[in-house]
Structure 1
Amino acid sequence: MKWFRLSLQLNNFPINRAEELLHQIQEIPEHKYREYLEGQRESILKFHIENNEFYRQFCPTQNCKNWADVPVMKKADLQQPLQNRISKGFSSRKTTYVGKTSGSSGQPFIFAKDRFAHALSWAGFNNRYRWHGIDLNKSLQARFYGIPLDFYGNVQERVKDRISLRRRFNIFNLSDEKMQNFLQRFKNTKFEYINGYTSAILLFSKFLKNKSIILKEICPSLKVCIVTSERLFENDKILMEETLGVPVLNEYGASEVGLIAFENREKEWIVNSEDLYVEILDEHNNILPFGKEGRVVITSLYNKAHPMIRYDIGDTGILSEESSFKHPKLQKLIGRTNDIAHLANGKIVPGLTFYYVTKTIITDAGDIKEFVITQTAMDSFKIEYVSETDFDKNQVQKITAAIQKYVGKDLKVNFERKHTLQRSKSGKLKQFTSLI
């Protein structure tokens, strides 16, 4: 049974058509690939100017005749009701996939993808995973992610996990006792790969090192580990490969655009040039040549439901001088890192856990512009946010309850509204920081 394909088809995502198009794109020869990219980016630009009122105002026709003049889209531009940003003909949930960004940059918003574009993203993931012997239709995944704790969200995720051949390792508590339970599951289950947050898998790797255990020796079916959502440092990668006993691969993606880059067998980060157009821009929005460091700006070439055109994702990177239009390579990425929260009761919580907390304050109205969370003491956290108004009593109670559910009880949470938040030199926000 091809579970991956079946799960997408049951949800009306045309994966067969998406895989067929992906194959056709990959067959385009190198000397014609620039023509393909430029033609497709002009096509999606024209579509949104003609069919999306929000984008027509953002990019008036007379100002967007040349690609270099097309304005760069910031996350703040998208923090308004989704109904204002949706394209004509895609207002129904039947025609679109609607999701929320994680808010790991501190700037959350709701987005939409048409069902074909979403299927094309998944076709790309499966194609890259096959580079390393992983088939989403039959390979069992050990999934180091969080999970919603509300009844409906929890059941929904578990059903999706079951259909998608994923077995969830709950990272909300990474104590030694819990990781011992993780170890037992690997002994009893034929997992083929690990996928999840870098910080959570790193903590598990350190646990294995302290126990002098190599994971592949107790789970021989394991082939690779794929880390995502947080930056992987080289020293950490070495430790993880030693303790897991398998290659550790970098996956770079974002929910709103899909797969951006993936590591091949030669340890090169191959950029997705099939359904995305990736540029590196300087601070004045000038296009930089290969080998120069700048802002990562992405165009989704097939998403007709919502414009993602010259979208500044909030990262800084370099495309290798060895890159071509068909085979761009990511030489360097300054991604987002997250600290770990240590609680007085010994509980260890990865910073990405706060993704599940921030979902409680992401509203379609886009009234929360930015936020950061800081752990100031073992039992104390501070949330600084930019908004038109102060949090009301109900919002405070909702956020506090979410922290108690996902992080721990008897914690103090202070809220501080600000006009602006302090940023790093690169201009990015770090969503979570621990001062402990």
Structure 2
Amino acid sequence: MIIGSINKYIQEIFLEGKKNRIKKEYGAISNIFEIGEQNTFIEQRLKNLLLHAYEHTRYYHTIFNQIDLIQDGNVDSSRISDIPILTKDIIRENYNDLLSDDYQTRKWYYNSSGGSTGEPLRLVQDHVYLKWGNATNYYYYKHILDIDEPNVKKILLWGSERDIFKGSIGFKAKTINQLSNTKFLNSFRMTEQDIERYIHTINSFKPEIIRGYAGSLYTLCRYAEKKKLSLYAPKIIVSAAETLSDNMRSTIESNFGTRVYNFYGSREVSNIAGECKEGLMHLFMFWNYLELLDSQNRPVSCGEEGKVVITNLFNYSMPLIRYEIGDTAILGPDVCFCGNLLPTLKKIVGRVTDHFVLKDGTTIHGEYFTHLFYLKDWIEMFQVIQEDYKTIRILIVISSERNQKDQKDIESKIKLVMGSECKVIWDIVDDIPKTSSGKYLYTKSLVWR
């Protein structure tokens, strides 16, 4: 009894500390909506970022001079649409020039994106960026879903290749999960035994939130449906990390008996948009300034599809300004019946991920393979193809001499989940074909399809 009280007290201190770490940022977000100053806030943050980029990065200093964006230390707002679109290729070609000359004075770290285009990309982010991203996530749950996310019981059906390599989650992660009312279920490799265990955990833990990869939630529900197993109904389910199709949504909702909310984000810029109870995706414009543009880089109208172009307003270590993320979306109305003042998207298009399948029915999430290519700078583009149960073919476009150590490491980690007898074939190619919709698939299973 005493030990239980102590554990609860420690948990309360941990959760309060977690909130305090983003208290300033979350307070600023809440305040701008209370006083109706969200547009002014966004405009000022955008100008501040542009001035910083001009003064502290060689790439933007040159670009902004070419278009006369900065005049007498002030940003000419009418010229912002003249800033060239930033692509992954431009980032690679100008990597050092995109780094702020003061980034080492910040608490910076590397992040990497495999991206739905199959092009791994190394980025520099920092702790100011991280805190504002966490505050944005907290805002979504509290103000759009009406849930105090840190305090409720949660299950994450999420991917961790590290747990597969090491065999179990580390002590630190276990402790943090316990203190934050979280149970982690690894979705990267899901055998029938894993799924049975996950269903038992969900039914016994009785979470208020289940958050997971769309494909993994769908796989779990398909199994429950097939075996006629009941699933505990949480308050909400949040689907993230990949495209949530109508069929996936219907299957997940019917099996759990709970509404699914779609969430859109990326490693490059973190949280982008979250679905509300009216079914629209609200854009976190105070954090990521988003544009939807047509093929001529002109803004699209409500109901039209356009490419997603994002400017993160808080990463001063490596500013990404008008960055083409590789997805397309359909623009929604500015006003939503849910009452939230943020503009909306109707639908996210893209992010198609194939899962790999073993002969015994085990599914391996496509993103497991994507993670193997993170921070491999010699690989410019890649595609991993499951040709049959025992053959994996990897197409790569290389930017420099291939790294044999990286290659052996990737092969061993593929065999760890696909089986030691799996044959891994490497093909160096000049280009990787796109789908009919103009996107690259970074994982492709001829078995799963």
The alignment's TM-score, normalised by the length of structure 1, stands at 0.88
Deviation at 1:433, TM superposition (A): 0.8
Could you give the per-residue CA deviations for residues 390-426 of structure 1, whole angstroms, max 9, x where no partner exists? Answer: 5343232111012123443221111111121111244
Partner of 2:350: 335
Partner of 1:378: 389
Tell me, in whole angstroms, the C-alpha distance in 1 between the residues paired with 2:253 and 2:361.
27
Deviation at 1:316, TM superposition (A): 0.7
Matches within 5 A, 1:18-417: 18-29=25-36, 33-57=38-62, 59-63=63-67, 65=69, 66-79=79-92, 85-91=98-104, 95-130=107-142, 131-147=144-160, 148-149=162-163, 150-151=165-166, 154-155=169-170, 157-216=173-232, 222-322=234-334, 327-359=342-374, 362-363=375-376, 366-389=377-400, 391-417=402-428
**Residues 370 and 443 of structure 2 are in contact (CA less than 8 Å); yes or no, is this contact kept in structure 1?**
no
For structure 2, list consecutive stretches of 5 or more residues without a partner in the other structure: 1-11, 70-78
Tell me, in whole angstroms, the C-alpha distance in 1 between the residues paired with 2:362 and 2:192.
9
Partner of 2:438: 427
Residue identity opposite 1:327 in structure 2:
L
Tell me, in whole angstroms, the C-alpha distance in 2 between the residues paired with 1:391 and 1:89.
32
Residue identity opposite 2:22 in structure 1:
I
Could you give the per-residue CA deviations for residues 205-255 of structure 1, whole angstroms, max 9, x where no partner exists? Answer: 111112333312xxx6x2111111111111221111110121111000112
Deviation at 1:297, TM superposition (A): 0.4
**Residues 76 and 107 of structure 1 are in contact (CA less than 8 Å); yes or no, is this contact kept in structure 2?**
no
Residue identity opposite 1:90 in structure 2:
Y
Residue identity opposite 2:235 in structure 1:
K
**Residues 379 and 398 of structure 2 are in contact (CA less than 8 Å); yes or no, is this contact kept in structure 1?**
yes
Query: Match of 1:6, SS?
Result: helix
Deviation at 1:7, TM superposition (A): 4.5
Residue identity opposite 2:263 in structure 1:
E
Query: Match of 1:421, SS?
Result: coil
Partner of 1:16: 23
The count of corresponding residues between Structure 1 and Structure 2 is 420
Query: Match of 2:186, SS?
Result: coil
Could you give the per-residue CA deviations for residues 330-361 of structure 1, whole angstroms, max 9, x where no partner exists? Answer: 012212111121123432212122133223xx
**Residues 8 and 119 of structure 1 are in contact (CA less than 8 Å); yes or no, is this contact kept in structure 2?**
no
Deviation at 1:22, TM superposition (A): 1.0
The alignment's TM-score, normalised by the length of structure 2, stands at 0.86
Tell me, in whole angstroms, the C-alpha distance in 2 between the residues paired with 1:408 and 1:152.
15
**Residues 126 and 136 of structure 1 are in contact (CA less than 8 Å); yes or no, is this contact kept in structure 2?**
yes
For structure 1, list consecutive stretches of 5 or more residues without a partner in the other structure: none
Q: CA, structure 1 residues 435+327, in 2 after alignment: closer, same or farther (shift >3 Å)?
A: same
Q: CA, structure 1 residues 304+262, in 2 after alignment: closer, same or farther (shift >3 Å)?
A: same
Deviation at 1:60, TM superposition (A): 3.5
Tell me, in whole angstroms, the C-alpha distance in 1 between the residues paired with 2:314 and 2:101.
15
Instruction: After superposing the two structures, state which structure 1 stretch, 425-434 or 295-304, moved more.
Output: 425-434
Q: CA, structure 1 residues 153+96, in 2 after alignment: closer, same or farther (shift >3 Å)?
A: farther
**Residues 137 and 271 of structure 2 are in contact (CA less than 8 Å); yes or no, is this contact kept in structure 1?**
yes
Could you give the per-residue CA deviations for residues 40-89 of structure 1, whole angstroms, max 9, x where no partner exists? Answer: 222211111111224334x2423252111111111222236966533232
CA RMSD in angstroms, aligned pairs only: 2.6
Tell me, in whole angstroms, the C-alpha distance in 1 between the residues paired with 2:94 and 2:415.
29
Aligned mate of 1:418, from 423, 429, 442:
429
Q: CA, structure 1 residues 259+171, in 2 after alignment: closer, same or farther (shift >3 Å)?
A: same
Percentage identity across paired residues of the two chains? 24
Tell me, in whole angstroms, the C-alpha distance in 1 between the residues paired with 2:176 and 2:103.
24
**Residues 57 and 97 of structure 2 are in contact (CA less than 8 Å); yes or no, is this contact kept in structure 1?**
no
